Amino acid sequence: MEKTGPACPSHAPTQKKPRTPPPTRIRQGYGYRHRFHWLSHCRIRTLPDHSKNEFVRMKQLVVIGGGVVGVTTAWALVEAGHRVTLVERDVELATGASRANGGQLSYRYVSPLADAGVPLKAIRWLLDPGGPLRFKPDGTTAQWRWLASFLAHCRGPVNRRTTERLLELGAFSQQCFGDLLRQTSLDTIELRSPGKLVVYRKPDEFGRVASRTLVGGPERALTREECLALEPALGDGGAEWLAGGIFTAGEAVADCHALSVQLGERLAAHPNFQGRLTAHATGFVREGDRVVALRTDQGELGADGIVLAAGLQSAGLAELVGLRLPLYPLKGYSLSAPINGVHRPPTVSVTDFERKTLYARIGDQLRVAAMVDLVGDDTRIDPKRLAALQRNVRETFPKAADYDRAVPWAGLRPATPSGAPMLGETPLRGLWLNVGHGALGFTFSFGSARIVADLVSGKPSPIALDGLQLRAA
């Protein structure tokens, strides 16, 4: 059934006649129906707003991208009172980086990859065939531009500033996730809050991190014996390698794909949701410095605003209107291994700091995610990388799951050189960003969506955006 907004009241003020977009075909069930997407130019809502405007106009908006970032953005916008159409090129939601990622909601473990010392570590990682990093020139200037900017961000003061912003975003996202759960009662996402244990193999590295842990703070430095007491499964393969760990209570794990799909179902039932279009976005319609419609292979969608939340696809779309988004794919791998009664998986969420590998039980599966490959737009599973990951997990948690039946996956995480996402406005009016979350897209999606929804509504951001905008990336 089509959803239409209320007609304008007869006493509404006279306004300039809006641009009438052409009809577009919206996929509904097994067929198509024509629908006109009218600009909502005459509905006025009174909202609690901290901006100078007393009234916020209901807008007709388009969100591009059906991953966890796009779906949460669409939800935040309909909850803010706007009418929203979601555009996703795949038939199903969350088929890209949201499909089989690590599943960790790490609100406090957010330090970006770019840091002092990382370039030297990268050399060691590259020399190790089973190491966490792989680099292969992809023949594009975009790769080298991204690497040059990444190296420029590999400085201690820059890392600390970015980490401060990401910690604030993480805390806000945790709050927004709680709000979302209360609103939607998502019940199929395998949510647990077991806490997160980051384990270290090198005593010097562990000592350096432990010395910065504040007494009474959210993180606790644990000795080898304390780590084993907290998570006995760490001893199943022998724990001689374990120097210590940092434990943060309250950190969570959940199934990102299941959350995206179920929230998509809740979205479809929302009175402000206009529908989902299965289509490829191909460009924008501009009038001066304003974007007024999205072009797709199914037709045009007129809109008051468009939010780019399409991961790596966002960069190509932005280039069509002269915007360069510094995004590059960081390829990662995961294994989803079944757990039965004979296995002993870790209870807490575990991250192996040196090997850049994380372990999280999600329902009746152990999710293992690892590696950062800079190899371009390539989602093929490399047998050598997969074999290295299998060796790693069997050594660290030999009894945790049935690795012989593990399902492999590879995905591309859209990352900025700084490690911080790009949120909010662009130089073009009516075009907004929610992109570049890297490996923390699941963690940051809830807060990023709320921030963008507030900005689109004319409100100030609930947190400072220094370092989280296009000009800072």
| Terminal-to-terminal C-alpha distance of the chain | 42
Cα separation values, 216 from 35, 42, 221, 244, Å: 58, 54, 11, 18
Residue pLDDT tens, the chain, 473 long = 334 444 433 334 444 444 444 434 343 332 223 332 322 322 223 333 333 333 458 999 999 999 999 999 999 999 999 999 999 999 999 999 999 999 999 999 998 999 999 999 999 999 999 999 999 999 999 999 999 999 999 999 999 999 999 999 999 999 999 999 999 999 999 999 999 999 999 999 999 999 999 888 899 999 999 999 999 999 999 999 999 999 999 999 999 999 999 999 999 999 999 999 999 999 999 999 999 999 999 999 999 999 999 999 999 999 999 999 999 999 999 999 999 999 999 999 999 999 999 999 999 999 999 999 999 999 999 999 999 999 999 999 999 999 999 999 999 999 999 999 999 999 999 999 999 999 999 999 999 999 999 999 999 999 999 999 998 66
What share of the chain in percent tops pLDDT 90?
Answer: 86
CB 370 within 8 A of CB 356: yes
Q: What is the C-alpha separation between 233 and 243, in angstroms, rounded?
A: 16
Q: What is the C-alpha separation between 57 and 128, in angstroms, rounded?
A: 56
Burial 314-330 (b: 16+ CB within 10 A, else e): bbebbeeeebebbbbbb
Q: What is the pLDDT of residue 38?
A: 28
Q: What is the pLDDT of residue 56?
A: 57
* Phi, psi (rounded to 5 degrees) for 200: -120, 140
Bridge partners, 290 (sequence order): 287, 429
Q: What is the C-alpha separation between 232 and 345, in angstroms, rounded?
A: 9
Q: What is the pLDDT of residue 472?
A: 66
Q: What is the C-alpha separation between 184 and 81, in angstroms, rounded?
A: 16
Q: What is the pLDDT of residue 473?
A: 67
Task: State which amino acid sits at residue 418.
Answer: S
Tokens of 126: 């590259």
pLDDT of 244-263, one tens digit each?
A: 999 999 999 999 999 999 99
pLDDT of 313-323, one tens digit each?
A: 999 999 999 99
Residue that the structure tokens 């970015």 belong to = 162
Q: What is the pLDDT of residue 1?
A: 39
Q: What is the C-alpha separation between 392 and 180, in angstroms, rounded?
A: 36
Bridge partners, 182 (sequence order): none
* Phi, psi (rounded to 5 degrees) for 146: -65, -45
